[in-house]
Amino acid sequence: MAAASAELTPRKSPLQARARATKEALHVATIQVLTREGLIDCTTTRIAKRAGTSVGTLYQYYPNRDALLAAVLEEHLGKLAEAIERTCARLHGANLSEMATALIATFLEVKLGNPDASNALYAIAGERGGAELVLRGNNRMVATMSAMLATASDTRFADPAITAAVALSSIVGCVRAVLEGYAPPGFDHQLERQLVSLVSAYFENEAER
C-alpha cells in the first residue's frame, strides 16, 4: 500500500455499470474477509470468491493486492474526513461544548455505522504504506478541526492543531477499544457520553480567554 505510487493506482475506471458493480463488490468483499479472517489470511483468492468473481477480474481492476487494500482504506478515510469537514463547517463560531458534541456524534456515526469496515481497516493501516494514507487522512481532519477551533466564540487556543490532534487521537483510541473488543462491559453504551465529557473538559482546559 505504498500510498500514491503508480503501482498502487487502480487499473481502470469502471466505465460500465457492470464494472462499477464488480469494483464495489470487491471493496465489500475485502472488508468482509479482512474482518472474518484477518490481514494475513485476506488473500486475493478469498476476496475474489467472496465477491463472486475470479482472481483474474480482481487483477483487471487493481494491479496488486496492496492496491486493493489501499483503495478500500482510502475510501473509508475519505468518507470519514468528509463527514468531519461537513460538521466542522456547520460549527464555525459555536462554543466548545457544541463543537465537542457534534464532532463526536459525527465521528461515531461514521465509525459505528459500519463497524466492520472501521475495524478491518485498522489491520491494513499498519502495513505497506497504509500509514501514509492514514497520515494524510489524519492531517486533513486535524486541519479541519483546528480551523474550527480557531473560530470558537469567546475563546483562543495557544496551539489549535495540537489540541485538535489530541482530541482526535483520544476519540480514535476509545472507539478502537470498543470496536476491537478491548473495552470493559458497559463501555460501548456510554461511549458517546464519555467522549463528550473527555473532549469538552479538555477543550475547556486548553482554552485561553
Residues binding DNA (CB under 7 A): 12, 15-16, 18-19, 22, 40-45, 53-57, 59-61, 63-66
Closer of 44 and 202 to a second copy (Cβ): 202
Give the residue, chosen from 4, 21, 89, 135, that forms a contact with a second copy under the rule CB under 8 A.
135
For residue 76, the minimal CB distance to DNA (Å) is 20
From DNA, a second copy, none, which one binds at residue 5 (CB under 5 to 8 Å depending on kind)? none
For residue 28, the minimal CB distance to DNA (Å) is 15
Nearest Cα to Cα of residue 10 among 81, 53, 78, 59: 59
Q: In angstroms, what CA-CA distances link 53 with 45, 47, 49, 62, 82?
A: 9, 9, 6, 14, 31
| Mode of pairing for the β-strands spanning 207-208 and 156-157 | antiparallel
For residue 111, the minimal CB distance to a second copy (Å) is 13
Q: Which helix (H) or strand (E) holds 208?
A: strand 207-208
Closer of 13 and 173 to a second copy (Cβ): 173
The CA-based angle 100-175-177, given to 5 degrees, is 140
From DNA, a second copy, none, which one binds at residue 138 (CB under 5 to 8 Å depending on kind)? a second copy
Contact map string, positions 18 to 57, toward a second copy, x by CB under 8 A: --------------------xxx-----------------
Q: In angstroms, what CA-CA distances link 195 with 90, 157, 160, 170, 201?
A: 20, 20, 19, 9, 10
